[in-house]
Amino acid sequence: MLLTSALLGCVSMKQHRSADTAPFDHETISVDGRSADLFFVEMDDQGWLHDRGQLERAYEHIVELGDTCAEPPPLIIAYAHGWSYSAREGDGNVAEMKESLAYLMTQTVERPRPIVGVYIGWRGKSWHSPFHVLSFWGRKEAAHRIGESGASSIINTLELAKRELIARRGTCDGTDPMLVVAGHSFGGAMIYSAYAQLLGERMRRLSVMDDSDAREEYMRSYTNLVVLFNPAFEAARFEHLTNIPADCEGKPCARMLMTVTSETDNATRKAFPFGRRFGTLWQSGSYRAGDSPPQGKANRTALGHFTPWITHELSLDETTEPEPGCASYRPELAPPLTPLPTVRFCGYELKTLEESIGVANPRLLNVRAVRQVLNKHGLAQNRDTLVRFGWDFIAHELVEHQKNQQ
């Protein structure tokens, strides 16, 4: 009887954005005379694309944007949803993605970049209630598996599109397309799995380059920033990145990965280690007494709550009045990020934590956010803050890039 009920509660693995559905896999979001494009790319539980044409159509559109010096190059934002969500019309994360793109378009400036969103869809919900909670282990495993296969293919294609645009633009004004890839919850686990080896390879390559111009040229065609919000994966998966030496000691360093986790996110702070405790019962490891950091705890604790590897704390800057979107598309108006212990910008305070003992490379930020900035686990209640902070942070990165070019 229980097995029958469980089978009846299974959510089918299907493509939500096909030629037979409306809207299809490409939508236009319009605000105040401006528009952004949103593409959907969907995968099954093995990471196989439901329809490779979805990815090809996104690629073909991107490489036609800003391919001449007369137009600015695009901002490309890819996003992978988390547990319980999908790419279906009416899904909460789909709505949040559309509203996020609409918000970015309200930051009007001279020659604004075209905006392209790529929504990475997968079967985030495999069982209906009341069995949904039991899908924790299966959905987590699927997220990592998809990250290493289909999501990796999507990222490679988007980076290829960026390289193609750079080649087409030739010697324009020096402004390149921007590629930002984000994920939430198990979507964060997926995106991290897609990038984990790439980040390691790229950081090691950078660490042996002596020339700053060579480092910059090397990174031009790759993802500008990976951003993970309340990511649901164990800190142990991060260990191989922690000891890669820095290549930019004593000067501003373009970030490659930033995770932001709320201190009040009980889904990753309490529920995640509970699930991992059962999931690791039969796993072996060199759990030696006195290990620093402790391997057993790292294998059960979500990255954003593993104290030895939390590099920064994000809070509100009480000395200034917050101004939503203060950097937005105008990075020249924003004060620069520097290697200082505490950086204040756009109403935020980003403080380096002295107790962080295990992350050697400043290209990696594992940020703990206080309740006033990011509250609990969900995306909906935190959308405005996440979009605002994410873009303002990227704008500050652009400031540093411009200063280094002078």
Q: In whole angstroms, give the CA distance from residue 313 to residue 351.
A: 5
Q: Report which secondary-structure segment, H or E, holds 226.
A: strand 225-229
Q: What is the pLDDT of residue 36?
A: 94
Task: Please name the residue that has the structure tokens 């959905």.
Answer: 139
Long-range contacts of 15-21 (CB under 8 A, 24+ apart): 15/42, 15/50, 15/51, 16/40, 16/42, 16/86, 16/87, 16/88, 16/89, 16/121, 17/42, 17/54, 17/87, 17/121, 18/50, 18/51, 21/89
Q: What is the pLDDT of residue 125?
A: 81
Task: Please name the residue that has the structure tokens 């789909």.
Answer: 94
Q: What is the pLDDT of residue 11?
A: 65
3-state secondary structure of 374: coil
Contacts of 175 (CB under 8 A, 6+ apart): 72, 73
Q: In whole angstroms, give the CA distance from residue 99 to residue 36.
A: 11
* 340: number of Cβ within 10 Å: 11
Task: Please name the residue that has the structure tokens 């996440």.
Answer: 386
Q: What is the pLDDT of residue 289?
A: 54
Q: In what order do the strands lie in the sheet with 312-316?
A: 26-31, 34-42, 115-121, 75-80, 178-184, 225-229, 257-262, 364-369, 312-316, 348-352, 342-345
Provide the whole-model pTM: 0.88
Q: In whole angstroms, give the CA distance from residue 193 to residue 236.
A: 12
3-state secondary structure of 169: helix
Contacts of 274 (CB under 8 A, 6+ apart): none
| Residuewise pLDDT in 10s, the chain (406 residues) | 445 445 545 666 678 788 777 678 899 999 888 899 999 999 999 999 999 999 999 999 999 998 788 888 999 999 999 988 899 999 999 999 998 888 888 765 656 889 999 999 999 886 666 676 777 888 899 999 999 999 999 999 999 999 999 999 887 877 889 999 999 999 999 999 999 999 999 999 998 888 878 888 888 889 999 999 999 999 999 999 998 988 876 666 778 999 999 999 999 999 888 888 876 655 655 555 556 678 889 999 999 999 999 999 998 887 666 555 454 444 444 444 455 577 776 778 888 887 666 788 889 999 999 988 888 887 776 776 777 777 677 666 655 555 554 4
Q: In whole angstroms, give the CA distance from residue 313 to residue 362.
A: 14
Residue 250 is encoded by which pair of tokens?
């004593």
Q: In whole angstroms, give the CA distance from residue 158 to residue 223.
A: 8
Q: In whole angstroms, give the CA distance from residue 49 to residue 69.
A: 34
Q: What is the pLDDT of residue 223?
A: 95
